A = this chain, B = another copy of it.
Amino acid sequence: METITLTKAELALQLGHSMHELRSYVRQYIQVKIKEHSVNITFEMLEVMSFIWKKDGSNQQEIADETLRDKSSMTYLIDNLVKRGLVKRVEDENDRRNKLIFLTEQGKALKEQLNPWVAEVYDIAIADLETASLQDSVVLLNKMIGSLKTNKSQN
């Protein structure tokens, strides 16, 4: 088995590809679970719900920032969540520009069903890993994000 030495730049490209690949496997795993149990929700809606479960009553812009989406995607996604009876839109009395998003009882209940699947797929993925090396990688990715943010604000 030969060892191929990659340059730093080549490793960066590989990292990008592996991130993409990992995310697509996680997505696939969750989507299979959703379909097997006939839950009427998409992966994207789950990402949004996951944030709302952590912080009920945010406005749409905050949810968009946190889930890394455009605010116009959020209008559409929240529309669909409202249609499914999982959240409700409430106009902010203190700032009438904001629409605050609150969980319905149904939305709260869904958490108990869906969160275990998310935990499950990550559990499988990290089974053979050391906590420390996992932490190192989080730190590394966050450094990369930081470098790109800094560069952006310089221009």
| A→B interface (CB under 8 Å) | 6-9, 11-16, 18-26, 29, 68, 118-119, 121-129, 131, 133-138, 140-145, 147-149, 151-152
**How far does the alpha carbon of A18 sit from the alpha carbon of B19 in the complex, in Å?**
10
**How far does the alpha carbon of A152 sit from the alpha carbon of B148 in the complex, in Å?**
35
Q: B147, A124: Cβ atoms under 8 Å?
A: yes
Q: A123, B9: Cβ atoms under 8 Å?
A: yes
Q: B147, A137: Cβ atoms under 8 Å?
A: no
Q: B25, A142: Cβ atoms under 8 Å?
A: no
**How far does the alpha carbon of A68 sit from the alpha carbon of B144 in the complex, in Å?**
23
Within the complex, what minimum Cβ distance (angstroms) separates A100 from chain B?
23
Q: B136, A68: Cβ atoms under 8 Å?
A: no
Q: A68, B127: Cβ atoms under 8 Å?
A: no
Residues of B within 8 A of A16 (CB): 23, 26, 122
Q: B136, A136: Cβ atoms under 8 Å?
A: yes
Q: List 5 A-B contacts (CB under 8 A).
A: A9-B123, A12-B126, A22-B145, A133-B140, A134-B140
**How far does the alpha carbon of A21 sit from the alpha carbon of B16 in the complex, in Å?**
12
Residues of B within 8 A of A118 (CB): 13
Residues of B within 8 A of A25 (CB): 145, 148-149, 152
Q: A68, B20: Cβ atoms under 8 Å?
A: yes
**How far does the alpha carbon of A128 sit from the alpha carbon of B146 in the complex, in Å?**
10
**How far does the alpha carbon of A76 sit from the alpha carbon of B33 in the complex, in Å?**
28
Residues of B within 8 A of A121 (CB): 148
